[in-house]
Amino acid sequence: MTQSTMTHSTMTHSRRRVRRLAVCAALLAVCVSPTVASWSPAMAAGAAGAVPDLSTAEVLATTTPVTGRAAVTLASVSPAVALPRGPITISGTVRNVGSVPIDVPVVRVLIGDHGLNSRTAVSDWSAPAGEQPVAVVARIPLGPSLAPDAVAAFTLIVPATAISHSESFAVLPVSVDVVGTTSDAANQEVVLGSQHTFLPTLAAIKAYEPLSIAWLVPLTLDPDPALFGVDSATRTAAWTKAIGPGSRLDRVMTGTDSALVTWAIDPAVLGPPNESIAPDASTTPAPAQGSDAGTPGPTQGGGTPTDPVAEATTALANRVRLAAPRHTLWSLPYTDPDLAALLPLPSGTQALEALISRPSTLDAPGGSARTGIAWPVDGTLTTTREDQLRRAYSSSGLDAAVVSTSTRTSRSGYTDNASRKSTGGLPLLAYDQGLSRTFAQTSDVASGAITTQRFLADSLALLGERPGTRNRSVLVAAPRTFAGDPSVLGSFFAAIAIAPWLTPTTTDQLLAAAGTASPDVPVVGTRVTPSPTATSATSPAPPDPLSPGRSPLTQAHLLDLSRTALAIDGVASIRDDTQAFRVRWTDAQEQVLSTRWRGQERGIAVINAATQAATNAVSRGVHVVPSSVNFFADRGALQVTVVNDLAVPVHDVHLTLIPGQPRLRIDQQAGPLRIGAHSRTNVRLNVTAIAPGLVPIQAVLTTSNGTPLGRDAKVNVRVQPTSSWIYWVLVGLASIILVLGVYRSLRRGTTRASRPLEQETLPDE
């Protein structure tokens, strides 16, 4: 009985071994020659949903290196986090980017069984050349052939048994490869394309303290110089492009509206300052004497014309107002000035104070927007910069600063909390550069799924630095140029919401924690190594979305701005539309101080050129008519003609005559002039002749603050003072006239007396 049982058991065991060998042989046949599966559409469809029991012996080393003939794009990894007993579905597309067809293409998924144990390891795997022992866990044929530039979609299901959950949490490396044969390598399976991604895994038992995560997104204008300056169709189009439907700002707000995100808003996005403020009536000058034409009165229309820019900014203000209950609102200083560039300059603090002290216009549309938070674009805060910030914010108060974790010293060698306090006692919010850099890549639709998995992997690696520490926090800050795609951001925040190791919080809560934090310890001697970031020295250096670029602001630029401001104020003071001209062009110059112009120096040059053209147009529009005058008197009035070619009346124009020689003296200069639009006036000035000769007179037109107007004009005066000799000449002429008159009278009388008297003839009766 026992022997029979043993014999039966042995036979059963033998049959099981035969079955296993048969299955292994079949799987090996599929691996070596995938054409068997690819020829049958039914088999291909079945492979998409099948969960094969693949051996870990089938590894990446069995194929040749990647040749880059195919491009792999991942559409989704669902779910984004692997849980025990749960399969993972990976979908995407493959494009043949080569010039020859790919025969029997197969997509396969390879997953490592050991987690990436650091943020540096996560960064290394994200590079195309990253290496990690991984095994094939799923594969599917794409068909018999893939033509050049053809695209094929795929969906792979990774069985739950192929995912290791040996650790309480881990980041597993994943590679999605395309293998096949080409005419260059016939009958040889090669890897034609590969895409690295990540799979965060969690065990059934929680063994960590979650991280509190907050989000900070700036809402600022694009570096477009057409937004500022003269009214034109180009300016209207620029504002529509900047804040209208489909704009970068619109897409960012749409993509982040459903998340607990802090919006740091530049008030300039709500439009330029109001230009319709009427000037003080007490400062309006009275009409000057001698004007040839009066100032035409304002034309009263039937209604106020619609301003497309005002419509766009009003719509944005209403949108911010409606979204305010769902978001924490920060108000950046007007124009979002470049703190990092301006603070070191001698006159930079003065330029900043004017912008920082300006009341925020966000208080009207957005409720109570928080002010007093400095955010240098480079994320650096030194002791010197902190002192400079306190001086610049002296009028409004400095409550906190936003800095980068990579610029702060670390107490432990790992990433510290987002809530910090400087050595000087200033509350700080330190954003994580690695996570912020990944978040900035949500603008790329094609890599949206990879970006999400990368963020989850890096945050889980961050958790692994100190998994048992409570009350840890992390801040993710987008760059000023953030252009997240709404669809990508929707999927991104949905994945973050179900990641159990990330707990949402707000910047207000982080600021409260920063207020009670202990100040950083001053660095003495060797600097502590900053916490590891998600950037590897061995990986290639792609464009860094957090790199702000070089600032074009220099001390020379600030001096030019000061001179330009005086010119704007000067030419605006003579126009009847003083307020509108001054506000518009002063605002254009203030925009030059913005952070948005880093790496965009040409934009500043365009604004400066437009401002110079506007002031020159006013200056050239009011000028003196050159003339030549003969002046034969000791004293008298000299007449000069001043022309206004502008479409608006001007006032407070000062005319000064400067004789080139002392032969002529100006007794009194003319008072302020008022000239109508497209008009001229004749100005009479009292002068005294000193000596004869040609006297060139320079006619100078200026504004009240000394800004020159018009072109150089000369009035040439030929002076011939009368002196005492003129009286002798007049007496001589009078004597001659008297003698001639007497002579004529005497001669006329003698002639009449010598004639005979003729008899008067009477008419016939």
Which residue ranges of the chain lie beneath pLDDT 70?
1-67, 130, 133, 182-188, 275-306, 363-367, 409-413, 523-543, 722-730, 749-765
**In terms of CATH architecture, what is 212-271+315-516?**
Alpha-Beta Barrel (3.20)
- Three-class DSSP labels, 480-504: CCCCCCHHHHHHHHHHHHCCCCEEE
Q: Rounded to the nearest 5°, which phi and psi values hold at 135?
A: -125, 150
**Given this model, what pLDDT does residue 231 score?**
81
Q: Rounded to the nearest 5°, which phi and psi values hold at 651?
A: -145, 170
4/479 Cα distance (integer angstroms): 77
- For residue 447, give the DSSP letter: T
**Given this model, what pLDDT does residue 217 score?**
98
> Within 132-284, where are the H helices?
233-243, 248-256
**Given this model, what pLDDT does residue 753 score?**
52
Fold of 37-207: Immunoglobulin-like (2.60.40)
Which CATH code for domain 622-719? 2.60.40.10
- SS3 for 550? coil
- For residue 370, give the DSSP letter: B
450/702 Cα distance (integer angstroms): 64
Q: Which residues lie closer than 8 Å to 21 by C-beta, 6 or more apart?
A: none
109/104 Cα distance (integer angstroms): 17
152/333 Cα distance (integer angstroms): 50
Q: What angle do CA 242, 246, 248 make, to 5 degrees?
A: 50
User: For the chain, what are the domain ranges?
Assistant: 1-32, 37-207, 212-271+315-516, 555-619, 622-719
CB 481 within 8 A of CB 437: no
Q: Does 212-271+315-516 match 37-207 at the fold level?
A: no
**Given this model, what pLDDT does residue 278 score?**
41
Q: Which residues lie closer than 8 Å to 623 by C-beta, 6 or more apart?
A: 642, 643, 645, 701, 709, 710, 711, 713
